[in-house]
Amino acid sequence: MHLIQRFVSERGGALLMLGGQECYQAGGYDHTPIGSMLPVYLDRTTTAGPMLDARFNLTREGWLESWMRLRTDREEDEKRLAAMPSFYAINQTFAIKPGASILATVSDSAQTTMPAIVSQRFGEGRVGSVLVADLWRWGMNDADSRKDMERAWRQLMRWLVVDVADSISFSTETDAADRERVKLSVRVRDRAFKAHGDALVKIEVTQPDGKKSQLFAEPSLKEAGLFETEFFSSSSGNYRATATVEDMEKHTQLGLKTTGWTYGPQAEEFSRLAPDRAFLQRIATETSGQMLALDEISKLPEMLKNIRVPIEVTLSTPLWHTPWIFLALLFFIGTEWFLRRKGGMA
């Protein structure tokens, strides 16, 4: 179970639990690594009887997922759902976990509604729960229903494996305080999907004007297999970054990843009407200045008298070009001549 949990969370695999009578709580999966991955809670039991004549229907989240629909037109899909047979083997659950989505429900004649298909992300992978145990009734209804059921299972399987994580991932993160600073992170894994730290990561950034910059990502001290560097956006527009990963030992290319971001300071400035006091205070602090409120404007003339200019220019002038130095030399020479004459010296 721990290996399955690592496979889903770290490798980006998928787990699908089907709703048989010995699954979920009846299968003893509560308080296990498998139970912790499921999108539904297993710690509550029901004293009510089984659901009879339960009808299958999609939720709002289910209608938004293309792999849950079998028709291009919603009206046709609603007719298909209305023609589906009733189900009788339902694993009843009371609540879903935070972040999970109910894609389909079943409702009986007493208007009791229970989740039928639930999904959620778990680490790098995804987990799905099918709580209807007798979906085979759908395929035994007629030949067309059989084709629909087979198509539904194929779409479900594709959804489980469509976004499997790659051995090399490239991501960007913009600094919230300094929008110009962009953190570039590249995670490298080997064929066994373990962190690979002996790699050379080159990053080429193409700026909006077409100019290209070459960067080298450095290994992180916090996480093995993570290489990081920073780039400062200088002009507005779209930026494109391409990371090339090479094996230092075998001198072979492990992979290539591309990502990008947009830098638009004007759009961020005009997106709000209120002044960004935190940004202004940061500028004042970094430049040894001071931010004044509107009622403190009257203090500005007095402050400008005593303010120190942050930029100073050094001017050098030879001492021989200074008048008082010349006069001092004449004084010392004249004094020395007077003392020598007074003492009878030449």
Say which residue, 95 or 317, is predicted with more confidence: 95
Looking at residues 27-56, what average pLDDT do you find?
A: 84
Task: Indicate which CATH number applies to the domain containing 241.
Answer: 2.60.40.10
Give pLDDT tens digits for 236-260.
899 999 999 998 888 888 889 999 9
pLDDT at 309: 65
| Residues 95, 180 within the same domain | no
| Residues 8, 118 within the same domain | yes
One-letter identity of residue 262: T
Provide, rounded to the nearest whole percent, the portion of the chain with pLDDT above 90. 49
Name the band, by pLDDT with cuts 50, 70 and 90, for residue 346: low
| Residues 100, 135 within the same domain | yes
Name the band, by pLDDT with cuts 50, 70 and 90, for residue 310: low
- Indicate whether 315 belongs to any domain: no
Looking at residues 133-156, what average pLDDT do you find?
A: 93
Which tokens hold the place of 232? 């400062």
Q: How many domains does the chain have?
A: 3
Residue 254's CB is within 10 A of a number of other CB atoms, namely 19
| Residues 117, 227 within the same domain | no
One-letter identity of residue 303: M
Q: Residue 46 above 70 pLDDT?
A: no
Name the band, by pLDDT with cuts 50, 70 and 90, for residue 322: confident
pLDDT at 45: 56
Name the band, by pLDDT with cuts 50, 70 and 90, for residue 179: confident
| Residues 239, 284 within the same domain | no
> How far are the Cα atoms of 35, 93, 112, 156, 339 from residue 26, in angstroms, in the given order?
12, 12, 21, 24, 121
Give pLDDT tens digits for 83-130.
999 999 888 887 899 999 999 999 988 888 999 999 999 988 999 999
CA-based nearest residue to 138, from 223, 75, 80: 80
What is the rounded radius of gyration, in angstroms, for the C-alpha atoms of the chain? 37
Q: Residue 296 above 70 pLDDT?
A: yes
State how far Cα 204 lies from the chain centre. Answer: 21
Q: Residue 216 above 80 pLDDT?
A: yes
- Indicate whether 333 belongs to any domain: no
Q: Residue 338 above 90 pLDDT?
A: no
- Indicate whether 327 belongs to any domain: no
| Residues 236, 196 within the same domain | yes
- Indicate whether 82 belongs to any domain: yes
| Residues 250, 298 within the same domain | no
Comparing 108-117, 126-135, 298-307, 332-341, the range with the smallest average pLDDT is 298-307
- Indicate whether 330 belongs to any domain: no
Looking at residues 327-334, what average pLDDT do you find?
A: 88
Name the band, by pLDDT with cuts 50, 70 and 90, for residue 4: very high
CA-based nearest residue to 39, from 1, 94, 92, 96: 96
Strands (E) across 54-196 are located at 55-58, 101-107, 113-122, 125-130, 168-174, 181-188
| Residue span of the structural domain in which 283 resides | 274-306
- Indicate whether 72 belongs to any domain: yes
| Residues 247, 282 within the same domain | no
| Residues 186, 93 within the same domain | no
- The bridge status of strand 125-130 relative to strand 113-122 is antiparallel
Task: Indicate which CATH number applies to the domain containing 98.
Answer: 3.40.50.880
| Residues 186, 146 within the same domain | no
- Indicate whether 219 belongs to any domain: yes
| Residues 125, 191 within the same domain | no
Q: Residue 313 above 80 pLDDT?
A: no
Sequence-distant (≥ 6) Cβ neighbours of residue 120 within 8 angstroms: 39, 96, 97, 99, 100, 101, 126, 127
pTM of whole model > 0.85?
A: no
| Residues 242, 283 within the same domain | no
Q: Residue 75 above 90 pLDDT?
A: yes
